[in-house]
Structure 1
Amino acid sequence: MPEPHPTVAQLIARSNALGADPRNTNYAGGNTSAKGTDTDPVTGEQVELLWVKGSGGDLGTLRPEGLAVLRLDRLRAMTETYPGVEREDEMVAAFDYALHGRGGAAPSIDTAMHGLVDAAHVDHLHPDSGIAIATAADGEELTRKIFGGRVVWVPWRRPGFQLGLDIAEVRKADPQAVGTILGGHGITAWGDTSEEAEANSRWIIETAARYIEEHGAAEPFGAVRPGYAPLPEAERRARAAALAPHLRRIASADRRTVGHFTDSEAVLDFVSREKMPALAELGTSCPDHFLRTKIRPLVVDLPATASTEEVIAALPALHRAYREDYRAYYERYATEDSPAIRGADPAVVLVPGVGMFSYGPDKQTARVAGEFYVNAINVMRGAEALSSYRPIGEEEKFRIEYWALEEAKLKRRPAAKPLAGRVAFVTGAASGIGRAVAARLAAEGACVAVADLDPAKARAAAEEIGGPDTAIGAAADVSDETAVRAALDQAVLAFGGIDIVVNNAGLSLSKPLLETTEQDWDLQHDVMAKGSFLVSKNAARILADQGLGGDIVYIASKNSVFAGPNNIAYSAAKADQAHQVRLLAAELGEHGIRVNGVNPDGVVRGSGIFAGGWGAQRAKTYGIEEKDLGAFYAQRTILKREVLPEHVANAVYALCAGDFSHTTGLHVPVDAGVAAAFLR
């Protein structure tokens, strides 16, 4: 790739440095820009350009392709045709006619803020300390007191062309100013060089933070309410795991969500304090915050001393009240041109003594929503420490939340993958069939808990599949109910719940009847028959509590119906699993839970079972070399094809992806055709 323009290289370096520190801005929040010259490939002349972070990008990970590039002469000319604040949304479409060259990102609503300010480098950021001043009741006075005239207060205005004109006027009228506090919103800073702009941004952020630290009240949220102190960690996380399925049911009434749990010190302190209910009701202020968190959270305002059962019993009424309140908010401000309501369920739920649950269509969105609410807590703390927290009003929030430009941004998102919003728990998933299943489900959009007896291998597999926003590794001895519950709790706290359970953990010892010991029998039945029972039992409770239906899939075997030699313990355990499918399909259907099975032939390649000695035993049984076992199995099938882990994964995906929505109690053969194993 060619080296980026020197100005672009400076801009990317500054953006990444600022975006790497959460004290400076939140994920995907804010934007940076630089002005410079480059050669016009048509005329060969130098042309003034603006490089600015495009719509939807993140400063910490910004790359050159994430920039919008515009001609400054055309952008500045828009001031002559600007039709006024009532029609300023039209200017966003006009930005496209000022673009220079092809490719790059779409210009954001903040482009005017960068292009019209007479400075070579401009930063717009959302630091907690800056927004604390911006949302304080006396923010304008505090700005003068803290910054001594070097930073100018700009009253709240929705992001757009007019705000760009306002900030440009500040720069023109007050040459000593290095930036602004944008009321209810954030900060803007500038400089003649990239280094100067970054230094000014950091100075504003650090000066505000230091002033809050030195002059703020010691307990801005008031005293800890009796009974609302955080529960001890083990008890707290156990309660969080018990509540999570019920809360996910609430957050998914309109559309299925993935969850994220946070019990950080900042969250636990906030939910314990006297002022929390009133401050939570005021909602967040910075547009980037409430677009992801909704205007306010659902507060489960019961003391930590209440029992888990009492908290669960209170949730339906709290949910109804929240939905009614949100619909009333929508109806108060919606016009005939407003987009349809996007759902009335909470994106953030606060539970005193326990922590915060946040939700979104995928794990990253859910996690970021939680991070943004932590930002909002920090903002409220700073504002209350110096003054009182006064966010922008509901009507302004609605204008942004249901902005036609925001709706257009949502519509530009790529279509969701088939399993988006679903969470899978796969046992024996560090190798072989289980790993292939976990990888396929993740590739189709699911979040996956890779459960395995070997926790190190489980974590390694999860990292390769996609990392913590896609997959986690969990230790799981499926023969131990305590370990099963712990692994399921880990998955629930990571992703909010469970939708797909794949009973794949297994092992085998190939011995004739007279050589099969009681220990051989017990081991194989403990892992496969008992293990599947324990996983299904404990997962079914979560699935039922969620009320979202779900899938349980057993990786059984053709041996569950085919009587092969020297295989009594393994085949009997697989037959037990096969009948569990039928029994549970009949029992769990009332909860919308479908239970199906997959019956593979011997899967040699990549199999932990075959590599662990089973392959050598089976090869000896059939009188062949172990390396020829896969080909041997293939030749005895109707299709003469070897069965691989990916083929089993394909069947699991097909059962869970939606086309088999009315199928339960089914066993799908994945054996390339073994007539003796045909189901009757």
Structure 2
Amino acid sequence: MNVSTGTAQELIARSNRLGADPKNTNYAGGNTSAKGRLTDPVTGEDVDLLWVKGSGGDLGTLTEAGLAVLRLDRLQALVGVYPGVDREDEMVAAFDYCLHGKGGAAPSIDTAMHALVDAPHVDHLHPDSGIAIATAADGEELTRAVYGDQVVWVPWRRPGFQLGLDIAAIQAANPQAVGCVLGGHGITAWGDTSEEAERHSLWMIDTAAEYIAENSAPEPFGSVLDGFEQLGAAARRAKAAALAATVRSIASQDRPQVGHFTDSDEVLDFLSRSEHARLAALGTSCPDHFLRTKVKPLLLDLPGTASVEQSIARLRELHTAYRADYQAYYERHADESSPAIRGADPLIVLVPGVGMFSFGKDKQTARVAGEFYVNAINVMRGAEGLSTYAPIDESEKFRIEYWALEEAKLARMPKPKALASRIALVTGAASGIGKAIAHRLAAEGAVVAIADLDLAKAQAAAAEIGGPDVAIGVQADVSEEAAVQAAVDATLLAFGGLDLVVNNAGLSLSRSLLETTAADWDLQHAVMAKGSFLVARAAAKVLIEQGLGGDIVYISSKNSVFAGPSNIAYSAVKADQAHQVRLLAAELGEYGVRVNGINPDGVVQGSGIFAGGWGANRAAVYGVAEEDLGAFYAQRTLLKREVLPEHVANAVFALVGPDLTHTTGLHVPVDAGVAAAFLR
């Protein structure tokens, strides 16, 4: 397709500006369009076209590839064949026959709105201020009070062709109007130019926000409940970490989910107020909101001062009730044409005094779900401040949540990667083997916490992998119990849980028996033997509470079985790690946790250990130049190949991926074949 026209370029620029400001619309919410004319390359005649944001795109990051391009005459001809609201789904299929050329992105359900509104430029947005008016019990009256006759009210209608017809009819009957409020849903604005449509959209958003600010009741969520005040920052984050494994198990009974924790002022204030339970039970209203958050959250009905043990017990009771309630909701509204139930676990879990856990198939989806619920809180605040919050009926929510079109959209999603939804913690991961492992796990779909003594390097490595929706950097001295727990807690708060731990942190001092001091011995055992134990223990507590199984992998060494020269402390501690693998495999198997080890040969390239002096020492022991050490190691192997960090990372993936699900207690040599290190 050719979108080099000024019209399409203006549309992309306008969309990016509107989508960049969260006050205008939520992530991936809303759509924009422009009408224009191009020469048909086949007939040579001018043709009127509609450029509109396609299904699943995001306004803030919209590019040419995210636009659907359709013939306007064919879209408008659909009015004559529209079979009615009971057959809405057929109209979306008909859009495919209206595409111009290859058509670009898949047209969304809102395409009809943009095609049928008699204006060259149309914006449909989901601003908190606009949805507050749209979800107020007296929204129609409020629309007149806020906007006069410049904006008209459109009663709730499920997105689709009929909604486009409704808006077009109301627009024709109100030629002075610049936009409309869609009951229970959002706003739509239009203009003769791209600049005018954008100006009208922003005017509607800002005018609603100003009206709410000037006319809202002082405490729309009620007074503060005694005992429900927010905990201090350190206390609430500590409690959130203590609850995270339980909450993730609740959200993952049907399928594993990745989590996100939010303790923003909006969430904490909402949960402290007397009306929060009533409002939470009403659920969200805007389709974009409840498709991401489910129809309502799971709310812990205890104050933040309740103990962790009390909170865990109550959360599990509430989860049982939540699943039964959701099953009943499904059965109330499903018919023979409805898709199968997609799972009865909550996607939003609210903990008074502490904050909100949100969940999704990956970190971005989980984070965005939390953002949507904050949007919903803002909407409820605005609606309650002016009137009464009145979301759309649950039967309408069901019709959208289990819409065949939504099912088709889900079916178009790419197949998940092998480690999708898995949460990993890799120690010593800012360089060398650990960094290669972190990269490989992320490439296979996992989210990764990179733990290292050097926080700056850990954060740089995380940014290199993909940033906070994929990886985070945390500081950890694995020989310190508190530091290990802090690293695990940081992982829980960032990603909601933990599935996969790689004990990789290490160091080595190449010295003979007589040269090895007690301090040398203690340091290496503190980092690798004690450190691995501390990390495994902290992780196992989470893995057991989650009930989802998991993996613990030790990066040991061929030296755990090979008696190399001048290396007593390092080799002894690697033997300790090797036996920890066997002991933990035996102990944790009943919980579905697999424990395996990898025995690499010397990995020179990219290694922090070798760069820190170990390489020079080993080169001296073997009588070779330090720069030739990798080649020396390779030549003593059966395969004559140097072992690189990526080779160890490959072995980690093999152990934790989908193919070795019945393997535990195993040590995998990654040494290119060192006969003296063969396992016996």
Does the pair score TM above 0.5? yes
* Deviation digits for residues 363-422 of structure 1 (CA, Å, limit 9, x no counterpart): 011111100000000000000000000000010000000000000000000000010000
Distance in 1 separating the partners of 2:83 and 2:296: 34
1:201-600 matches, within 5 Å, as 201-600=201-600
SS at match of 2:176: coil
SS at match of 1:89: helix
Distance in 2 separating the partners of 1:134 and 1:539: 46
Aligned residues of 1:121 and 1:192 also touching (Cα < 8 A): yes
Distance in 2 separating the partners of 1:609 and 1:36: 63
Which residue matches 2:604? 604
Deviation at 1:103, TM superposition (A): 5.0
Which residue matches 2:93? 93
* Deviation digits for residues 63-121 of structure 1 (CA, Å, limit 9, x no counterpart): 01100000101111111111111112111000000100115100000000001111000
> In angstroms, what is the RMSD of aligned CA positions?
0.9
1:17-36 matches, within 5 Å, as 17-36=17-36
Deviation at 1:2, TM superposition (A): 8.3
Aligned residues of 1:52 and 1:68 also touching (Cα < 8 A): yes
Aligned residues of 1:65 and 1:103 also touching (Cα < 8 A): no
1:89-128 matches, within 5 Å, as 89-102=89-102, 104-128=104-128
Distance in 1 separating the partners of 2:70 and 2:551: 50
The residue identity in structure 1 corresponding to 2:379 is V
Distance in 2 separating the partners of 1:78 and 1:11: 24
The residue identity in structure 2 corresponding to 1:212 is I
* Deviation digits for residues 108-136 of structure 1 (CA, Å, limit 9, x no counterpart): 00000001111000000000000000000
1:643 matched to 2:637? The reply is: no
Deviation at 1:157, TM superposition (A): 0.2
Deviation at 1:39, TM superposition (A): 1.1
The residue identity in structure 1 corresponding to 2:419 is L
Distance in 1 separating the partners of 2:172 and 2:70: 22
TM-score (norm. length: structure 1): 0.99
SS at match of 1:137: coil
1:679 matched to 2:679? The reply is: yes
SS at match of 1:124: strand
SS at match of 2:101: coil
Distance in 2 separating the partners of 1:316 and 1:515: 57
The residue identity in structure 2 corresponding to 1:308 is V
Deviation at 1:278, TM superposition (A): 0.6
Aligned residues of 2:241 and 2:493 also touching (Cα < 8 A): yes
Aligned residues of 2:112 and 2:164 also touching (Cα < 8 A): yes
Deviation at 1:314, TM superposition (A): 1.1
The residue identity in structure 2 corresponding to 1:382 is G
SS at match of 2:502: strand
% of aligned pairs identical?
76
Distance in 1 separating the partners of 2:415 and 2:4: 32
The residue identity in structure 2 corresponding to 1:508 is S
SS at match of 1:606: coil
Distance in 1 separating the partners of 2:498 and 2:424: 6
The residue identity in structure 2 corresponding to 1:26 is N
The residue identity in structure 2 corresponding to 1:678 is F
Which residue matches 2:14? 14
SS at match of 2:260: strand
Aligned residues of 1:615 and 1:629 also touching (Cα < 8 A): yes
Aligned residues of 2:485 and 2:538 also touching (Cα < 8 A): yes
1:3-152 matches, within 5 Å, as 4-102=4-102, 104-152=104-152
Aligned residues of 1:423 and 1:500 also touching (Cα < 8 A): yes
Runs of 5+ in structure 1 lacking a partner? none
Distance in 2 separating the partners of 1:459 and 1:92: 45
Which residue matches 1:624? 624
Distance in 2 separating the partners of 1:629 and 1:540: 38
The residue identity in structure 2 corresponding to 1:127 is P
Give the 4+ runs in structure 1 shifted more than 6 A. none
* Deviation digits for residues 223-247 of structure 1 (CA, Å, limit 9, x no counterpart): 1111100011101000000000000
Aligned residues of 2:69 and 2:103 also touching (Cα < 8 A): no
Range moving further from structure 2, 94-103 or 464-473: 94-103
Deviation at 1:3, TM superposition (A): 7.6
Distance in 2 separating the partners of 1:456 and 1:66: 36
Aligned residues of 1:619 and 1:629 also touching (Cα < 8 A): yes
Deviation at 1:658, TM superposition (A): 2.3
Deviation at 1:4, TM superposition (A): 2.3
1:659 matched to 2:630? The reply is: no
Distance in 2 separating the partners of 1:65 and 1:360: 25
Aligned residues of 2:260 and 2:495 also touching (Cα < 8 A): yes
Aligned residues of 1:4 and 1:64 also touching (Cα < 8 A): no
SS at match of 1:118: coil
Distance in 2 separating the partners of 1:419 and 1:195: 45
Aligned residues of 2:3 and 2:64 also touching (Cα < 8 A): no
Deviation at 1:518, TM superposition (A): 1.2
Aligned residues of 1:498 and 1:539 also touching (Cα < 8 A): yes
Aligned residues of 2:556 and 2:598 also touching (Cα < 8 A): yes
Range moving further from structure 2, 75-84 or 437-446: 75-84
Distance in 1 separating the partners of 2:132 and 2:290: 15
Distance in 2 separating the partners of 1:301 and 1:125: 34
Distance in 1 separating the partners of 2:140 and 2:3: 44
Range moving further from structure 2, 314-323 or 375-384: 314-323
Distance in 2 separating the partners of 1:305 and 1:556: 43
Distance in 2 separating the partners of 1:156 and 1:413: 29
Which residue matches 1:181? 181
Distance in 1 separating the partners of 2:409 and 2:599: 45
Distance in 1 separating the partners of 2:595 and 2:216: 58
Aligned residues of 2:70 and 2:103 also touching (Cα < 8 A): no
Distance in 1 separating the partners of 2:131 and 2:68: 26
SS at match of 1:91: helix
Distance in 2 separating the partners of 1:294 and 1:640: 56
SS at match of 1:37: strand
SS at match of 1:631: helix
The residue identity in structure 2 corresponding to 1:313 is A
The residue identity in structure 1 corresponding to 2:380 is M
SS at match of 1:668: strand
* Deviation digits for residues 136-193 of structure 1 (CA, Å, limit 9, x no counterpart): 0000000011101100000000000000011111221111100000000000000000
Inter-CA distance 3–394: structure 2 relative to 1 (3 Å threshold): closer
The residue identity in structure 2 corresponding to 1:217 is A
Distance in 2 separating the partners of 1:42 and 1:367: 46
The residue identity in structure 2 corresponding to 1:144 is R
Distance in 2 separating the partners of 1:161 and 1:523: 70
